[in-house]
Amino acid sequence: SQQGEEDPQALSIQEGENATMNCSYKTSINNLQWYRQNSGRGLVHLILIRSNEREKHSGRLRVTLDTSKKSSSLLITASRAADTASYFCATGAGGTSYGKLTFGQGTILTVHP
Amino acid sequence: DAGVIQSPRHEVTEMGQEVTLRCKPISGHNSLFWYRQTMMRGLELLIYFNNNVPIDDSGMPEDRFSAKMPNASFSTLKIQPSEPRDSAVYFCASSLPGLASNEQFFGPGTRLTVL
């Protein structure tokens, strides 16, 4: 079963608006990552946040992590039509499964020009 | 670097045929992952290797699926015999897990259609 559950499943916004996607998970993690997938392509890594971090920024991306609530959010500011894609959260457990990631079901983001 | 390379990009076959998917990871990466993606089940981890050794194959759906990694630069995922329900996009990903990051790099995928 998938560790991460994204919410909402689909999000439709206008260019220039902010987009917020949420991810919840069940077990302890070492880190949480967000990936993007354009239609028909492979996933591309966006940002990683470690379990001892609470917030991280990268360009127009802002990720938060609340380990007490086992949840994370991805905020894309000033969205563009080119941001249209599916976004997945993935959790890494560390330890003997250090390289393994468990992906959520994804959020489909549509940004209208 | 060329990134993760997968072949073929598209495969159409008939039920009962053997299918072999291929993957070349990024040079220097020591972990390799095979995923399957469908609309119904999302992205599923099938198996992963560390230093060419299979670590976790609990996601392999059944005995019809097998994966090998004979060396650090090549892996195969074989389905024999194939069934229509195997139709999906199969992704290979590689990474170099370390203290800094265990970011995975994905290939473009192989779209498999079993008729």
The length of chain A, given as a count of residues: 113
Question: Can you give the pLDDT at residue B2?
Answer: 82
Between chain A and chain B, how many beta carbons pairs sit less than 8 Å apart? Answer: 57
State phi, psi for B100 to the nearest 5 degrees: -80, -45
Question: Can you give the pLDDT at residue B62?
Answer: 86
Task: Please state, rounded to an integer, the average pLDDT across all residues of chain B.
Answer: 93
Q: How far is B55 from chain A (nearest CA, A)?
A: 9
Question: Can you give the pLDDT at residue A100?
Answer: 84
Residue in chain A nearest B59 by alpha carbon: A1
CA distances from B40 to A40, B44, B87 (A): 16, 11, 12
Q: Are B104 and A106 within 8 A, CB to CB?
A: no
Residue B86, helix vs strand vs coil = helix
Question: Can you give the pLDDT at residue A1?
Answer: 35
Q: Which of A6, A37, A43, A96 to mutate to test the interface with B (most CBs of B within 10 A)?
A: A43
> Shortest CA distance to B85 belongs to which of B15, B18, B33?
B15
Question: What is the per-residue burial (b if ≥16 Cβ within 10 Å, else e) of B2-32?
Answer: eebebeeeebebeeeeebebbbbbbeebbbb
Question: Can you give the pLDDT at residue A2?
Answer: 40
Find all residues with CB under 8 Å of A5, minimum gap 6, and list them: A23, A24, A25, A104, A105
Question: What is the per-residue burial (b if ≥16 Cβ within 10 Å, else e) of A30-59?
Answer: ebbbbbbbeeebbbebbbbbbeeeeebeee
Question: Can you give the pLDDT at residue A93?
Answer: 79
Question: What letter would DSSP give residue A41?
Answer: S
Cα torsion for B10, B12, B17, B21, to the nearest 10°? 10
List chain A pLDDT tens, one digit each, 113 residues.
345 678 899 999 999 999 999 999 998 888 999 999 999 899 999 999 999 999 999 999 999 999 999 999 999 999 999 999 999 999 987 666 657 888 999 999 999 99
For the record, the structure tokens of B69 come out as 């990694």
